[in-house]
Structure 1
Amino acid sequence: MGHAAGRRPGARHARRLRPQLTRMVWFRFLVAALIGLALGLWTTTRPGDPDLFPAGTGEAGVTVRLLDNGFHTDLAVPRSLLETGDDALARAAKGLAPGDWILVGWGDAVFYVDQSPIRDRLPDGARAFFRPGGNPSVVMLDPTRADPAAWPDASRRVTLRLSQAGARAMRARIKASLSVDAAGAPIVSARRKTDDAVFFRSRERFSIVRLCNHWTAEVLNAAGLSIRPYRSLTSGEVMRAARDAAALDLKPIRD
């Protein structure tokens, strides 16, 4: 009896430790699972469509350019592509100032339009990134007379030759972002006084989990390019995807 009684404190201690050890095991398992999930999402690739990109050898194709300003990407698209038809995107493009190329981008309805120094916009940037439920957004259409191939820094541009079908799919994805009024017309949200850019109301929401570069990546994916959607928060990642895609095109591109 004395020997058995002497073991009871240890047994009680073991029973107290057992739930703690179980919680620790489950905690470590949960942390490992979350890390695995994050790594999996980070490397996930949304495949392209070889029927859309690149253009076939016997096909003229449609040249578009991806431009990087250091943290944001725009697409330079031939005006003729956007003006095709009589839908909301065609009406928006036809109402712009002259220019054979149109820069296309997407972003927060306030932060994206404002061109004041970034240091003066930090509080608004925090609002744009972290507001619950996201923020209203806009599609920018900015006509330019000069071919963006003339940009002096070649490292900040990539030229892509889309198939005709890929160009139509890209156009359809841009159009799908536009919000329209009861008559089906695009809705102007803002105009910049410093240039010819016009910002049209978008159906989509901007937030820290869906930034401007995510949108550009989705447009490229619609045109047939492979992207890594969860890594596309930076302009550098979108440029990498475009360069990798351009390397698949065996037909020389005149830049």
Structure 2
Amino acid sequence: MAGNAVYLVDRGWHTEIGLPVAALSGRLAVFREIFPGARTVLFGYGKKTFFTAPASSIEEYLIGPFPGPAVVQVFAMTTTPDRAYGPGAVVVLPMRRAETDRLSDFIGRDLETGRDGRPRLVAVGHRPESLFYAARSRYTLFHTCNGWVAQALGRAGLPVSDAGVVFAGQVMARAAPLACRPAGR
């Protein structure tokens, strides 16, 4: 299953999508060069001011849900998420190549590009394998990290709806039944 597996990772309040490096296509293929030696690349979405500089006061938490520019965090792993995170934190989704291509396309289209045609880097995370890129879409109360992940899975062709998604648990619950399906069904 690993060749056609996509990983949905529950990070508590936030979900991310993990793609095997071999499945990165289109605009996402550049991450093979950016992260040589990576096995899996995780993509997470969030509000720029909140995601690149975590809140340190109650006031910052209160303004977190307000609309603003968004970023996509790209995190390179030398293993797979199901091996890196604890039980129950990862749903492994079997997918056909056409589905992973559509998923790559959705994520790639949301990455703002610079003059060189590459994703526009806006910040480096706490570790060199964590980079933040400008997103074309905006973060709002109705377009959050978890809704973006559910939307991405739906655009890939999976029967996952982003309607009413607010919490990480909602995305995980909607995707969990798909872990047992044959790829492309």
TM over 0.5: yes
1:222 matched residue in structure 2: 155
Q: Which of the numbers 28, 45, 61 marks the counterpart of 1:125?
A: 61
Q: CA deviation at 1:149?
A: 1.5
Q: Give CA-to-partner distance per residue, 1:156-196, whole Å, 9 cap, x none.
A: 11001111110110000000101112332211010013351
Q: Which of the numbers 142, 149, 152 marks the counterpart of 2:75?
A: 142
- Matched residue SS, 1:155: coil
Equivalent residue runs for 1:43-192 within 5 Å = 62-82=4-24, 84=25, 87=27, 89-96=28-35, 98-115=37-54, 120-130=56-66, 134-192=67-125
CA distance in 2, matches of 1:91, 1:242: 27
2:170 matched residue in structure 1: 237
Kindly report structure 1 stretches of 4+ aligned residues shifted beyond 3 Å.
none
CA distance in 1, matches of 2:86, 2:115: 43
Q: Which has the higher helix share?
A: 1
> Structure 1: 5+ residue runs without aligned partners?
1-54
CA gap of 1:151–1:182, structure 2 versus 1, over 3 A, is closer
Contact 1:99 1:144 in 2 (8 A): yes
CA gap of 1:61–1:142, structure 2 versus 1, over 3 A, is closer
Q: Which of the numbers 176, 179, 184 marks the counterpart of 1:246?
A: 179
- More moved, 237-246 vs 212-221: 237-246
- Matched residue SS, 2:112: coil
Q: CA deviation at 1:128?
A: 3.0
Q: TM-score, normalised by structure 1?
A: 0.66
CA distance in 2, matches of 1:194, 1:112: 14
> Structure 2: 5+ residue runs without aligned partners?
none
Q: CA deviation at 1:146?
A: 1.9
- Matched residue SS, 2:30: helix
CA distance in 2, matches of 1:218, 1:189: 23
Q: Give CA-to-partner distance per residue, 1:203-254, whole Å, 9 cap, x none.
A: 010122211000000111012222232331110010011112224x147xxx
CA gap of 1:141–1:205, structure 2 versus 1, over 3 A, is same
- Matched residue SS, 2:117: coil
CA distance in 2, matches of 1:195, 1:122: 28
Q: Which of the numbers 177, 194, 197 marks the counterpart of 2:130?
A: 197
Aligned residues: 183
- Matched residue SS, 1:111: helix
Q: Give CA-to-partner distance per residue, 1:88-137, whole Å, 9 cap, x none.
A: x322442135311111111111211234xx5x24322332312xxx2111
Give, as a single letter, the amino acid of the residue that structure 1 aligns with 2:60.
Answer: D
CA distance in 2, matches of 1:93, 1:106: 20
Percent of aligned positions that are identical: 25
CA distance in 1, matches of 2:121, 2:85: 32
CA distance in 1, matches of 2:105, 2:161: 21
CA distance in 1, matches of 2:82, 2:51: 24
